[in-house]
């Protein structure tokens, strides 16, 4: 096993012929005196970063009475569990039933395929179209179990969206009506809390009592909305390219997104199979309609070893999260603002580990549902490529964080708006949509605008100090590292605002750091440690490229 194997592999890491080969890469710096010093700093700083939040989470700490009421009985070493994050709690508590449903799905699919082989006298290995009807049937039952009678609302919205696509076809009205309809549904769902049958007519009131396991269907519908737009836009582009020949060769990940299908492939059954596909319905990852259908038409080679390896990654990540929640109660501390009297170092670690937990609480559901899809033979994009703490570039961060959503944004918003012709304006529009799509709140809108604003320094640095001109200079790596430190501080600020403590909370954090002499001293130490960390990130990426792995994040 190599060092670079720690980062998950994605299809786009294959070598590009335009990039330099391993033989022309810089020699490894790991054995140099400079990087030995960096590794010593890492070995000193990392245990301290773990020890601080563990100390804050001890019953003997003065702030323990402020937050211990949020803790739950734990299962590791007799310690309580911080299960106070409602979003992660809903996933963690339901892992057994989700695993049971996934197992039932795979078992029934296998039985369906066997029955198909027996009744047709052969097995269908060239395509998976015999599974379309199975997927639609299972998905409707799955949604009924999740949302009860509200499955009717979901299907009605899906059929209205399908009607727009099939009616408008290649007309320029197609994208306009598609976006207006889906954004309108997003706002109406939020405004009316998913609607009630009794509001339509009192005779349907009885349907409101059939709620299902998760009656708030409109919360998850944000993910479904992306699939509806994907189908309509892919069909719109397919109609405008009608008559183009299909490729005879195998398609890579990017080609599966952009190469269209014949008109008859954009059928209602294929559409419902895609929009309601059970493994990816609840949380994604997001896959485009074109890519999804290509994987039915030309199944990808899926080895058992790759699926088992992914299962091991998921279980290791789950165990890591369990240890953090049993030893670091930073979510409860954050929720109760139990940081009275804490030092700037302690406050910063509360923020940092909250971000790590945000990363893990998103990574775990995404990897669980992707694992389910992989077991079914569908390969959606990997959502989390790198650890949250292994990012220094704003652009690189968003390529590796919720990657499937980033690919969706690029295909359906960024490129249609002009792409790199106006990077800043298009980024503002894209992140505004991202913020409102997540939640119609000012906190996330502020996050979207902050992220857009924080793109500017990196854009300016790339313009005035392009690597094509200065990368061979001995000072360039160190200047880039200082710029990356600034980037990291900005990104942590934006994500603390959007996903952890909000605008008021970040004001308190900033006041503690910049408003006291102790805070300023701590900031200097943080900048030094981040500089060391960035140098290690740079060299890790160089190591990847020396091994033929090229990631844009």
Region 16-23: mean pLDDT is 47
Phi and psi at residue 80, in whole multiples of 5°? -65, 165
pLDDT at 289: 97
Highest mean predicted confidence (pLDDT) among 22-26, 79-83, 196-200, 245-249:
79-83
pLDDT at 443: 63
Tokens, residue 7: 């980062």
> Residue 320 pLDDT > 90, yes or no?
yes
pLDDT of 172-186, one tens digit each?
Answer: 999 999 999 999 999
C-alpha–C-alpha distance, residues 361 and 379, integer Å: 21
Percent of the chain at pLDDT > 70 equals 93
**DSSP H or E segment with residue 413:** none
Region 25-50: mean pLDDT is 93
> Residue 19 pLDDT > 60, yes or no?
no
**Residue owning tokens 């994987």:** 295
> Residue 78 pLDDT > 70, yes or no?
yes
C-alpha–C-alpha distance, residues 23 and 27, integer Å: 9
**What 8-state DSSP symbol labels residue 81?**
B
pLDDT of 466-524, one tens digit each?
Answer: 888 888 888 999 999 999 999 898 888 877 776 666 666 777 778 877 778 888 898 99
pLDDT at 182: 95
3-state secondary structure of 72: strand
pLDDT at 444: 66
308 CB-contact burial (10 Å; exposed 0-12 / middle 13-18 / buried 19+):
exposed
Region 434-452: mean pLDDT is 71
pLDDT at 260: 92
Catalytic positions are: 438
> Residue 119 pLDDT > 70, yes or no?
yes
pLDDT at 494: 74
C-alpha–C-alpha distance, residues 63 and 170, integer Å: 62
C-alpha–C-alpha distance, residues 326 and 77, integer Å: 9
pLDDT at 498: 65
Provide the pLDDT confidence category of residue 194 given band limits of 50, 70 and 90.
Answer: confident
- 424 within 8 A of 455, measured Cβ to Cβ: yes
Residues 6+ away with beta carbon under 8 Å from 377: 128, 295, 299, 300, 302
> Residue 62 pLDDT > 90, yes or no?
yes
**What 8-state DSSP symbol labels residue 203?**
G
C-alpha–C-alpha distance, residues 162 and 20, integer Å: 46
pLDDT at 436: 78
Residues 6+ away with beta carbon under 8 Å from 277: 135, 139, 292, 373, 378
CA 454 to chain CA centroid, nearest Å: 20
Highest mean predicted confidence (pLDDT) among 21-25, 408-412, 431-435:
408-412
Whole-structure pTM value: 0.91
C-alpha–C-alpha distance, residues 365 and 283, integer Å: 7
pLDDT at 382: 94
C-alpha–C-alpha distance, residues 380 and 259, integer Å: 16
- Candidates 433, 432, 425, 469; CA nearest to 450 is 432
Provide the pLDDT confidence category of residue 161 given band limits of 50, 70 and 90.
Answer: very high
Region 533-553: mean pLDDT is 90
pLDDT at 22: 47
- Candidates 386, 352, 396; CA nearest to 529 is 352
pLDDT of 325-359, one tens digit each?
Answer: 999 999 999 989 888 888 888 888 998 999 899 99
- 198 within 8 A of 204, measured Cβ to Cβ: yes
Least confident of 43-47, 133-137, 263-267, 466-470: 466-470
pLDDT at 18: 46
**DSSP H or E segment with residue 83:** none
Between 7 and 476, the more confident residue is 476
Provide the pLDDT confidence category of residue 17 given band limits of 50, 70 and 90.
Answer: very low
Least confident of 8-12, 144-148, 521-525: 8-12
1 CB-contact burial (10 Å; exposed 0-12 / middle 13-18 / buried 19+):
exposed
- Candidates 404, 374, 386; CA nearest to 311 is 374
């Amino acid at each position: 096993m190599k060092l670079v194997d720690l980062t998950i592999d994605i299809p786009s890491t294959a070598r590009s012929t335009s990039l330099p080969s391993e033989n022309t890469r810089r020699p490894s710096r790991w054995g140099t005196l400079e990087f030995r010093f960096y590794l010593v700093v890492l070995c000193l700083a990392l245990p301290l970063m773990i020890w601080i939040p563990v100390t804050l989470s001890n019953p003997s700490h003065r702030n323990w009475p402020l937050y211990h009421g949020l803790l739950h009985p734990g299962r590791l070493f007799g310690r309580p569990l911080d299960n106070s994050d409602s979003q992660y709690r809903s996933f963690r508590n339901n892992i057994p039933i989700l695993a049971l449903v996934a197992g039932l799905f795979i078992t029934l699919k296998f039985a369906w395929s066997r029955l198909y082989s027996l009744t047709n006298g052969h097995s269908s290995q060239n395509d998976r179209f015999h599974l379309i009807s199975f997927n639609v049937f299972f998905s409707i039952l799955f949604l009924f179990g999740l949302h009860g009678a509200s499955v009717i609302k979901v299907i009605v919205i899906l059929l209205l969206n399908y009607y727009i696509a099939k009616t408008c076809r290649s007309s320029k009205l197609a994208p306009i009506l598609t976006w207006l309809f889906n954004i309108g549904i997003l706002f109406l769902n939020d405004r009316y809390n998913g609607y009630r049958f009794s509001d339509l007519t009192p005779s349907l009131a009885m349907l409101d009592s059939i709620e299902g396991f998760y009656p708030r269907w409109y919360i998850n519908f944000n993910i479904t909305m992306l699939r509806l737009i994907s189908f309509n836009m892919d069909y719109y582009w397919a109609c405008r390219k009608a008559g183009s020949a299909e490729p005879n060769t195998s398609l890579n990940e990017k080609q599966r997104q952009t190469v269209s299908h014949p008109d008859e492939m954009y059928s209602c059954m294929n559409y419902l199979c895609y929009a309601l596909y059970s493994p990816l319905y609840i949380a994604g990852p997001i896959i485009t309609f074109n890519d999804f259908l290509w994987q039915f038409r030309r199944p990808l080679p899926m080895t058992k070893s790759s699926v088992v390896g992914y299962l091991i990654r998921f279980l290791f990540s789950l165990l890591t999260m369990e240890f953090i929640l049993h030893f670091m109660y930073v979510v409860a501390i954050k929720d109760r603002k139990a940081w009275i009297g804490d030092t700037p170092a302690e406050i910063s670690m509360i923020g940092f580990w909250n971000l790590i937990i945000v990363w893990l609480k998103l990574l775990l559901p995404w990897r669980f549902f992707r694992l389910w899809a992989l077991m079914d033979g569908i390969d959606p994009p990997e959502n989390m490529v790198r650890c949250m703490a292994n990012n220094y570039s704003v652009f690189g961060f968003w390529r590796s964080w919720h990657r499937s959503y980033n690919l969706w944004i690029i295909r359906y918003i960024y490129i249609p708006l002009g792409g790199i012709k106006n990077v800043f304006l298009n980024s503002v529009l894209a992140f505004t949509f991202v913020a409102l799509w997540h939640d119609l709140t000012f906190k996330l809108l502020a996050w979207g605008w902050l992220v857009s604003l924080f793109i500017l320094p990196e854009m300016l640095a790339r313009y005035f100090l392009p690597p094509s001109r200065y990368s061979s200079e001995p000072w360039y790596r160190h200047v880039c590292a200082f710029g990356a430190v600034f980037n990291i501080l900005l990104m942590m600020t934006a994500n603390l605002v959007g996903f952890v403590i909000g605008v008021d909370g970040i004001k308190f954090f900033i006041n503690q750091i910049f408003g006291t002499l102790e805070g300023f001293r701590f900031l200097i130490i943080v900048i030094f440690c981040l500089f060391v960390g960035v140098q290690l990130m740079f060299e890790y990426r160089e190591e990847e490229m020396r091994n033929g792995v090229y990631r844009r994040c």
